[in-house]
């Protein structure tokens, strides 16, 4: 599993990567009450705002972690946003994307590096 400084995780699944937010991010956000997902078959660039996530406290964006195409989204989050708090690292994945360059993953943090980041 790889991690970004924006507290997203990426898990390779065949030729796709699955993207979600970390346990740390979910805790910081608090109770999630609304999730807006991107359209599938959208080409995104690293840093693009692709999802909106609203907690009881505030709205935040989820950014595209790398360049690529959104190929699948987790509709379960729309009906049950609290899944993000219950299982952020598993069932509450946000979207799957096909990276332009799978090797771009190498530049992201591994679990130890991410653990250091959040202290």
Partner 1 sequence: MTEDLLHLGLHDLHLSLGGRMVPFAGYEMPVQYPSGVMKEHLHTRAAAGLFDVSHMGQVILRPKSTMQNLCLAFEALMPVDVLGVLTGRQRYGMFTNEQGGILDDLMFANRGDHLFVVVNASCKVADIAHMRQHLSDEAAVITVTDRALLALQGPAAEAALARHLPEVAAMRFMDSRILIWREHEVWVSRSGYTGEDGFEISISDAAALEFANALLAEPLVQPIGLGARDSLRLEAGLCLYGHDIDLTTSPVEAALTWAIQKSRRSGGDRVAGFPGAEIILEQLDNGTERRRVGLRPEGRAPMREGTLLFDLGGTPVGTVTSGGFGPSVDAPVAMGYVAESFATPGTQLLGEVRGKRLPVVVAPLPFHPTTYKR
Q: How far from 89 is each of 11, 23, 42, 92, CA to CA, in Å?
A: 10, 6, 24, 7
* Residue written as token pair 């690292």: 89
Identify residues 59-88 at the interface with partner 1 (CB under 8 A). 59, 78, 81, 85
Among 1, 6, 52, 98, binds partner 1 (CB under 8 A): 52
Phi and psi (nearest 5°) for 59?
-100, 140
Closer Cβ to partner 1, 10 or 92, answer by number? 92
| In the complex, minimum distance from the CB of residue 62 to partner 1, in angstroms, rounded to a whole number | 13
34 binds partner 1 (CB under 8 A): yes
48 binds partner 1 (CB under 8 A): no
| Binding span for partner 1 by CB under 8 A among 26-34, 64-72, 95-103, 110-118 | 26-34
* Residue written as token pair 């591994």: 110
Strand order from edge to edge, sheet including 32-36: 32-36, 49-55, 59-63
Pairwise CA distance, residues 26 & 101, whole Å: 28
| In the complex, minimum distance from the CB of residue 28 to partner 1, in angstroms, rounded to a whole number | 9
- Chain residues that interact with partner 1, rule: CB under 8 A: 30-31, 33-34, 36, 52, 54, 56-57, 59, 78, 81, 85
């Amino acid at each position: 599993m790889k991690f970004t400084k924006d507290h997203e995780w990426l898990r390779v699944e065949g030729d796709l990567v699955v993207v979600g937010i970390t346990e740390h991010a979910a805790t910081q956000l608090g109770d999630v009450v609304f999730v807006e997902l991107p359209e599938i078959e959208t080409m995104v660039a690293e840093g693009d705002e692709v999802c909106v996530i609203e907690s009881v406290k505030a709205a935040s964006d989820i950014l595209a972690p790398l360049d690529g195409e959104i190929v699948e989204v987790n509709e379960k989050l729309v009906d049950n946003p609290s899944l993000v708090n219950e299982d952020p690292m598993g069932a509450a994945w946000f979207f799957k994307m096909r990276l332009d360059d799978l090797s771009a993953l190498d530049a992201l943090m591994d679990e130890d590096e991410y653990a250091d980041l959040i202290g």
